[in-house]
A = this chain, B = another copy of it.
């Protein structure tokens, strides 16, 4: 079921480009930007949501404002065996503070991105949640000192304006 026949035309790409950095744009503004009727644009947006091209609309919140000042990446090595790997992945994903779980190439099995209030709460979380997951062999933690850039915007190919 991966990679269904999701075919996106230039208009879809324009919509995605506008919405990925301004998700609360009104449908009528969206329609003005791309020179179409609001109803037609609305239908396209709904289809993009249905097809899961648009997965969710998020408000990006400043972590420090809600006392989540520590960001860390942790490499997690696990015992061999693919069934256990996807178990571990799921258990990691269930931890709310874990924002990302990636299965990676190379010796280490997973890379996770995690946010907590401070280093003490990271330590507590590692003891209480991470270490209790079976089949984890070792972890290697990288603490972020400063985040220079953090955005989820994708590079969407700019639609080629047709010559009228």
Interface set of A (CB-CB < 8 Å, partner B): 2-3, 6, 8, 13, 16, 19-24, 51-68, 71, 73, 86, 89-90, 92-93, 96-106, 111, 115, 142-157
Whether B148 contacts A105 by the Cβ 8 Å rule is no
A64 cross-chain contacts in B, Cβ below 8 A: 2-3
A130 to chain B, nearest CB (A): 15
Per DSSP, chain A at the interface is mixed
A106 to chain B, nearest CB (A): 6
Q: Nearest residue in B to A27 (C-beta to C-beta)?
A: B24
A10 to chain B, nearest CB (A): 12
A105 cross-chain contacts in B, Cβ below 8 A: 142-145
